[in-house]
Chain A
Amino acid sequence: MFKYLLFFIVCFFTAPVQAVQVIAHPSIELHHLSPAQLRALFSMRQTQWPDGSAVRVFVLSSDHPLHQNFCKEQLRMFPYQLDNIWNRLSFSGIGSRPQQVATEQELIELVQSTPGGIGYRAGNANDTGVRIIEIR
Chain B
Amino acid sequence: MSKRSLAVLAVFLGGLNTASAQEWQWHGFLSQGMIQADKSNFINQSGKPSIALTELGINGAKQLSPNFRLAGQVVYLDGGNRYPSGLKLDYLFLDWALLNQLDWQLNAYVGRFKNQHWIHSSTRDVPLTRPSIVLPQSVYFDPFRDIAVSSDGLALKSSIDTSFGNFALNWSLGATPLSEQQTKLLLGDRVDGRSRQKYVHQASAFWQPEMSHWTFGVSLLDSEFSYRDASAELFYDADFMVQRFMLNAQYHRERWQLASELFQERMDIRGFIAPEFAIAQFGQGGYVQGIYQLSADLRIHAMADYFVANKDDRRGKQLMAMTQGEIPDYFGFQHSLSVGVSRDLAPRVRVQLEHHWVHGAARLAPVVVPDLITNRHSHWQLWALQLMYWF
* Interface residues in chain A, defined as those with a beta carbon under 8 Å from any beta carbon in chain B: 33-34, 36-37, 39-40, 45-48, 50, 52, 54, 61, 63, 76-78, 80-81, 84, 87-88, 90-94, 96-97
Contact = CB atoms under 8 A, between A and B. Distances in A.
Contacts of A46: 100-102, 105
B281 interface: no
B197 interface: no
Given A37-B103, A78-B252, A88-B123, A93 B97 contact: no
Contacts, number: 91
A92 B102 contact: no
B50 interface: no
* SS class, residues of chain B in contact with chain A: strand
30 contacts: A36-B166, A37-B102, A46-B105, A47-B100, A48-B97, A50-B102, A52-B66, A63-B296, A77-B252, A78-B253, A80-B293, A87-B123, A87-B128, A88-B122, A88-B123, A88-B129, A90-B25, A90-B27, A90-B61, A91-B27, A91-B29, A91-B122, A91-B123, A91-B126, A91-B129, A93-B59, A93-B93, A93-B95, A94-B157, A96-B61
The 6 closest A-B pairs by CB, nearest first: A93-B71, A92-B122, A36-B161, A92-B114, A48-B100, A91-B126
B135 to A, nearest CB: 14
Interface in B152-189: 157, 159, 161, 166
A71 B161 CA distance: 18
B100 A93 contact: no
A102 B113 CA distance: 33
B322 interface: no
Given A36-B210, A37-B161, A47 B97 contact: yes
B129 A84 contact: yes
Contacts of B254: 78
Nearest to B22: A54
A45 B99 CA distance: 11
B372 to A, nearest CB: 38
Given A93-B95, A94-B116, A36 B103 contact: yes
B329 to A, nearest CB: 39
